[in-house]
Structure 1
Amino acid sequence: MIRLSMAGTGAILLDAAAGPFDAATQRRIWAAARALGGAPSVVQAVPGVNNLLVTFDALHTEPDAVEQLIRQAWAAAAAEEIPAREVEIPVTYGGAFGEDLALVAKHAGLSEEATIAAHLAGRYSVAAIGAMAGFAYMTGLDPRLAVPRRDTPRLSVECRAVVVGGGQAGVMPCTAPSGWHIIGRTTLPLFDPHRPDPGFLRIGDTVRFTRVA
């Protein structure tokens, strides 16, 4: 059962979550986004994690018409398999590069080395791109490392910081505020506005983290 709600005057949010993250639901989100993206009355269809934000021109389109389109697209959507690239992200963990590693380890009831091993063992999938240009929400994090996000976000987390927050993993594509926990840093640029495709990661990519000696 999906839930639709207005998100301002020119957007509708489709929420398909029914508990923990579901990969099949996410693939269906991707399919619905692709279908809605071609509709004349839709400005954008932006996949989130088990949700979909559909924006439209409120001056020329009635919300009821967009809601009907969304329901039709969802009913017709089958779980979509997107060709996935295998991407490796090298990480230096802990120390000056991972100031929250000890906190995450304490939450998990693990040593810092075991926490690093658990992060490295994950097979991650890019579920959505959002929050900031090039930021990939990755599923597949070991549940033991699922630390709630900070009550008070840091005003500045450095570009390329490797982070965890809730049940997801990520890498900061630029320096920005964030409530996620920093466990390491990569040298890999995740966003470059001068590239034809500025974001390095894409929806559907499979990601593995590797440790820099």
Structure 2
Amino acid sequence: MRWRRYGEHAALLDCTSLEEMSAARATLTQAALDGVEEIVPGARTLLVVASTSALEAARSLLASADLSHPPAADVREVVLDVRYSGEDLSLVAEDAGRSVDEVVTLHTSAVYTVAFTGFAPGFGYLAGLPAELQQPRLSSPRTRVPAGSVAIADEYTGVYPRESPGGWRLIGHTEATLFDPSAEQPALFTPGLRVRFRSV
């Protein structure tokens, strides 16, 4: 891990892997250090917005922490109902060397964790995609992906919270609301949330 200053009141932690970043985030979140205002995870980075003294405390904490065994925490879980009829479902099955039913079983049998958010308000990058389903993005992104589209790309699965362009492989659709700016908590997906998918 390597720390870098990120303005006057923040520091960016470069991590070696998604797992290390997730463990560092869990460690800092559970510690609830005074003076830490915000913790923003990325694929291999962790931005900590805090006072100078809190940043020093965060550095010391992570330097001595065993990130191979992150602290356990009470984790919320949501289950999303999905119609597995996405435009790329057959392509995913073909590239995986599996039947469509096997792809659905693999996708619904996994337990995912929101590793970080980005791309669009409410979009979460969900870690935990089975290795058999890990496939690259489409070579030519679509100009329009419907809201609620369930998709996969590389090591992640995700759900498009609104209509937008996108290059992930579409395997299904959910009616769940992923982002509501008028809600007390606008985004359904927040880092650390556990997610399951259920075929309907």
**Normalising by the residue count of structure 2, what TM-score does the alignment of the two structures yield?**
0.80
Alignment equivalent of 1:116, drawn from 96, 104, 107: 104
Q: Which residue of 2 aligns with 1:16?
A: 15
Map residues 64-143 of structure 1 onto 2, 5 A cutoff.
71-75=59-63, 79-94=70-85, 98-143=86-131
Asked whether 1:182 is paired with 2:173, we answer: no
Alignment equivalent of 1:48, drawn from 37, 42, 45: 42
**Cα distance change on mapping 1:152 and 1:12 into 2, 3 Å:** farther
Task: Tell me how far apart the structure 2 counterparts of residues 147 and 10 of structure 1 sit (CA, whole Å).
Answer: 38
Q: CA deviation at 1:66?
A: 10
Q: Structure 1 regions of 5+ residues with no counterpart?
A: none
Q: 1:47-79 deviations in whole A, cap 9, x for unaligned? A: 1234213468xxxx9xxx998676335325562
Q: CA deviation at 1:4?
A: 4.3
Q: Which amino acid aligns with 2:42?
A: G
**Cα distance change on mapping 1:150 and 1:3 into 2, 3 Å:** farther
Q: 1:164-192 deviations in whole A, cap 9, x for unaligned? A: 11011111112222221111000111111
Asked whether 1:32 is paired with 2:28, we answer: yes
Contact 1:140 1:168 in 2 (8 A): yes
Q: CA deviation at 1:207?
A: 1.4
Task: Tell me how far apart the structure 2 counterparts of residues 131 and 76 of structure 1 sit (CA, whole Å).
Answer: 33
Task: Tell me how far apart the structure 2 counterparts of residues 26 and 143 of structure 1 sit (CA, whole Å).
Answer: 19
**Cα distance change on mapping 1:130 and 1:38 into 2, 3 Å:** farther
Q: Partner of 1:199: helix, strand, or coil?
A: coil
Contact 1:123 1:140 in 2 (8 A): yes
Q: Partner of 2:143: helix, strand, or coil?
A: strand
Q: CA deviation at 1:3?
A: 3.4
**Cα distance change on mapping 1:53 and 1:152 into 2, 3 Å:** farther
Q: Which moved more, 1:176-185 or 1:47-56?
A: 47-56
Q: What is the aligned residue count?
A: 197
Contact 1:29 1:51 in 2 (8 A): no
Task: Tell me how far apart the structure 2 counterparts of residues 75 and 164 of structure 1 sit (CA, whole Å).
Answer: 34
Task: Tell me how far apart the structure 2 counterparts of residues 87 and 171 of structure 1 sit (CA, whole Å).
Answer: 13
Q: Which amino acid aligns with 2:43?
A: V
Q: Which amino acid aligns with 2:25?
A: I
Task: Tell me how far apart the structure 1 counterparts of residues 106 and 169 of structure 2 sit (CA, whole Å).
Answer: 15
Q: Percent identity?
A: 35
Asked whether 1:196 is paired with 2:189, we answer: no
Q: Which moved more, 1:74-83 or 1:195-204?
A: 74-83
Q: Partner of 2:83: helix, strand, or coil?
A: strand
Task: Tell me how far apart the structure 2 counterparts of residues 149 and 105 of structure 1 sit (CA, whole Å).
Answer: 15
**Normalising by the residue count of structure 1, what TM-score does the alignment of the two structures yield?**
0.76
Contact 1:161 1:184 in 2 (8 A): yes
Q: Structure 2 regions of 5+ residues with no counterpart?
A: none
Q: Which amino acid aligns with 2:40?
A: V
Asked whether 1:209 is paired with 2:200, we answer: no
Q: Partner of 2:23: helix, strand, or coil?
A: helix
Q: Which moved more, 1:197-206 or 1:161-170?
A: 197-206
